[in-house]
Structure 1
Amino acid sequence: MAPSPASPADELLTVRDLLRYAVSRFAAARLTYGHGTENALDEAAFLILESLSLPIDDLGPWLEARLTRAEREKLIALIEARITTRKPAPYLVGKAYIQGIGFRVDERVIVPRSYLGEILATGALGPDGLGLIADPMAVETALDLCTGSGCLAILAAMAFPAAAVDAVDLSAAALEVARLNVADHQADDHVRLVQGDLFAPLGNRRYDLIITNPPYVAAAEVAAFPPEYAREPEMAHLGGADGLDIVRRILAGAGDHLTADGGLLCEIGTGHEILEAEFPHLPFFWLDTAASESEVFWLNAEALAQRG
């Protein structure tokens, strides 16, 4: 009888072994990244650490750790699944992180990676940052449009502890995931999930702060997506011919849903020149983050009240 073929699990014994193996396999497969990592090494490290329930911020202490046979087989299966399915790594492990805060994800929602996460989690809007919000405790109502997994609504509740946060999404399936995240973060008393199309389900409600990371990818770019991005819900990306159709609708309606001292924080991708040319009367204030430049804007209620 011919000997059974050797399994990689027979020879890959440590975290370092599995990391090297994964990086080599990912590089050979020419995967696409961008769902929390930007290269094969970081992707492999995330998969390994998260699947072993280890802290994801530092691989170093674990490199020489020997793994059980079951752990090795589990990791090898995940590595192969990343290649054969082309699913983003967060879908394979059911978890994504923003500023070190974990959120459940699956294919009902886009993988969280909004630049707004950094702005909210670091307090950049407050008096010690840009000063756009003088007193975070004075924010009593907030709205997260296109909430998806609910991550930004939850981060807003953390950043503005006195605020009641409404989180709206058109997708009932996405709100099922958001509901799990709200429960995980014990935010049920602060975050209300609402199904509907932008402002439509909110009546005449007004908010001290509106945040939104709407679909903003141009149709041609969506059509050319690599498999990893195509795995996400198309409606979470598609923003019309130039990507800004939903942003325009938000600009048209936000003024009617802000309090007198309120403001709109919106992520739009790379379309700032289009918006500035189309809305010359609006004094867009562009915010940069560690990974973006002029892809997030702020407008206050007074500016949005000018119909121009």
Structure 2
Amino acid sequence: MSRTIGDFVKGATEALSQAGIDGAARDARLLTAAALRIPADRLTLELREPLDAGDEQRAAEYLDRRIAREPLSHILGQRAFFNHAFTVTADVLDPRPETEALVLAALNTRFSDVLDLGTGSGAIIISLLAARPAARGLATDLSEAALAVAGDNATRIGVADRLRLAQSDWFSSVVGRFDLIVSNPPYIALDEMPDLAPELAYEPRMALTDEGDGLSAYRRIAVGAADHLADNGRVMVEIGWQQGPDVAAIFKAAGLVEVAILPDLDGRDRVVTARKP
């Protein structure tokens, strides 16, 4: 009797579990569905079907890549974030659920012009523009490859006509003032890098760490915010869960007011927000 799709899913789950991967059963199902080129929610209906040799080879290749700790989003080519699926490559940070706290915080304020510093995949600003059809935005990144990914996502999700892209080292190429500035900057300190999950080795290093204390990006954002925010405009940044007091102090020292630290859905400090007086 030929091997069934269900047999492969079971074996893949065991292999992923033995490799120490959390959510092994979920990853096994998603990888198998991707290899079969079917929606993941249809996989249950196919479990008793025989597994085609070509599909099995492709599924095995996906499985080997995941066991090597390549991020699931890189293998699948996309990541679900907020209300959309975003193209993800090794050129951009993998959008994470905790970053949705930044999007939610931004949507609780009024804005018509938004600037996203270090946009990566564009997940933050594209989510904001999709939710606010009258808003326009500028997304910057130092990486041309990242900007290409963001541009592709903007086109697919239907906001490209309201989003400009610019290669920039933080504010270096930014002209104008904005109601809202958002950023998920590199905030992992250099001495924390060796302890990170193996999957992060597949992501761009400059999107993860500032090669210092993890706070240098916030210092640059705080200094530049005054010149690029409209009066009463707001700046909102994602932070590491232990960085709230330090980032809040940096923003206050730059003359920003109404500085607040907001939690993510797990209750950990995740966003610092402030207003230009």
Question: Partner residue of 1:75?
Answer: 59
Q: Within 5 A, what are the aligned runs for 1:54-133?
A: 54-56=38-40, 58=41, 61-62=44-45, 64=47, 66=49, 68-69=51-52, 70-84=54-68, 86-113=69-96, 115-120=98-103, 123-126=104-107, 132-133=108-109
Q: Which residues of structure 1 form unaligned runs of 5+?
A: 1-8, 32-37, 127-131, 303-308
Q: Which residues of structure 2 form unaligned runs of 5+?
A: none
Question: Partner residue of 2:224?
Answer: 253
Do structure 1's residue 194 and structure 2's residue 166 form an aligned pair?
yes
In 1: Cα distance, 2:261 partner to 2:196 partner = 27
Q: Which of the two has greater helix per residue? A: 2
Percent of aligned pairs with the same amino acid = 31
SS for the counterpart of 1:17 is helix
Change (3 A) 1:71 1:299: same
Change (3 A) 1:54 1:246: same
Task: Look up the equivalent residue of 2:271 and give its one-letter code.
Answer: V
Question: Partner residue of 1:25?
Answer: 15
Task: Look up the equivalent residue of 1:178 and give its one-letter code.
Answer: A
The Cα shift of 1:63 comes to: 6.4
TM-score by length of 2: 0.87
Deviation string, structure 1 residues 51-80 (Cα, Å, up to 9, x no partner): 444445x57844635254033332122112
Question: Partner residue of 1:6?
Answer: none
Which moves more between the two structures, 141-150 or 181-190? Answer: 181-190
The Cα shift of 1:239 comes to: 2.5
Task: Look up the equivalent residue of 1:216 and give its one-letter code.
Answer: Y
Aligned length: 272
In 2: Cα distance, 1:115 partner to 1:269 partner = 10
The Cα shift of 1:19 comes to: 2.6
TM-score by length of 1: 0.79
Question: Partner residue of 2:118?
Answer: 146
Do structure 1's residue 285 and structure 2's residue 256 form an aligned pair?
no
CA contact (8 A) 1:244 1:268 kept: no
Provide the aligned C-alpha RMSD in A: 2.5
CA contact (8 A) 1:147 1:167 kept: yes
In 2: Cα distance, 1:261 partner to 1:17 partner = 59
Change (3 A) 1:287 1:62: farther
Task: Look up the equivalent residue of 2:56 and give its one-letter code.
Answer: R
Question: Partner residue of 1:232?
Answer: 203
